[in-house]
Structure 1
Amino acid sequence: MADSQRTSEPINFVHQDEIWKAHVKVVKDSADVWPSKWGFLTEAYKEYERESTKLMEAVRRVELPHHLAARPSTPPEKYIHVGPSPPVPQTSQALIGWRSGHSHLQLEKYGTVHYGRRSFLKELGWPLDSCN
């Protein structure tokens, strides 16, 4: 990639082509030799797949006790209630945060957030201008 950014030296296209041909030849030769060197892995993988399917069949046949069986999921409408939205106000920022201004829409289900209200300096009893 650094070669393509150099503008002071001329590019030798024949040399670049020879390098590309060498790369393609190495990849092709590697693909031809791979089965003789690493072909045993394909058999091991096929054996693993056969064992895996046998185990999955055995697992499917086992019945779970009643207390471990999965219950059907409850639809979200049963426990999440969102009130209807009021009309969008006619302002320049009408679409940003217009629901958050209404307390009856209950966007904050668990109350207001109180993170980051503590000061490390106050906990140590230091004056606030001690670290600048």
Structure 2
Amino acid sequence: MAALKSHGSEREFSFVDQDEIWKVHVKIELESAKVWPNKWGFLTKSYKETQEASQKLKEAVKLELPPHLKTQPPTPPGKFIQVGPSPPVPQTSQALIGWRSAVPGLQLDCYGRVQCGKKSFLKEMGWAFDACS
């Protein structure tokens, strides 16, 4: 016997009982699989019919998009982004951390600094700051 803790209470169960419960579950699954075609098999036929009808419609209606609406192949990133070789890593251990930020061409804000908004929507509307929660 083993103890199973459940929500603060302890109850006993045996592995034999757990095995019997599992066998019952498997038996129910197998019986359900045998009965399913008689009860629900019509769904597979209607699904196949729907798929065939859909395929016939797709073949009958060949819609050709005008050239300006067709998707363009993706442009390779190498056309717009050029990555040069990195400068050599400094030999000192103190300069190793953050060495890339000291080189102007490798800084993260090469497109300009991020401008955070200094206005408040609530202030613009004249609402109290605790109006939104």
Short-chain TM bin: 0.5 to 0.7
Give TM-score, length-normalised by structure 1: 0.63
Gaps of 5+ in 2: 125-133
- The corresponding residue for 2:30 is 28
- The corresponding residue for 1:50 is 52
State how far apart, in whole Å, the 1-side matches of 2:104 and 2:95 are.
19
State how far apart, in whole Å, the 1-side matches of 2:11 and 2:44 are.
48
Percent identical: 53
Higher relative contact order (CA 8 A, sep 6+): 1
Cα 1:93/1:52, change in 2 over 3 Å: farther
Mapping of 1:1-40 within 5 angstroms? 4-5=4-5, 10-40=12-42
The size of the alignment, in residue pairs, is: 117
State how far apart, in whole Å, the 2-side matches of 1:16 and 1:73 are.
57
Give TM-score, length-normalised by structure 2: 0.63
Q: Deviations over 1:33-65 (max 9, x none)?
A: 111111111112212322333344456x43322
State how far apart, in whole Å, the 2-side matches of 1:11 and 1:62 are.
65
Alpha-carbon offset, residue 98 of structure 1: 4.0
Cα 1:100/1:107, change in 2 over 3 Å: same
Alpha-carbon offset, residue 83 of structure 1: 3.0
Pick the structure with more strand per residue.
2
Q: Deviations over 1:75-119 (max 9, x none)?
A: 21111123321112332683x65433322136435322233x748
- The corresponding residue for 1:87 is 88
- The corresponding residue for 2:129 is none
Cα 1:49/1:100, change in 2 over 3 Å: farther
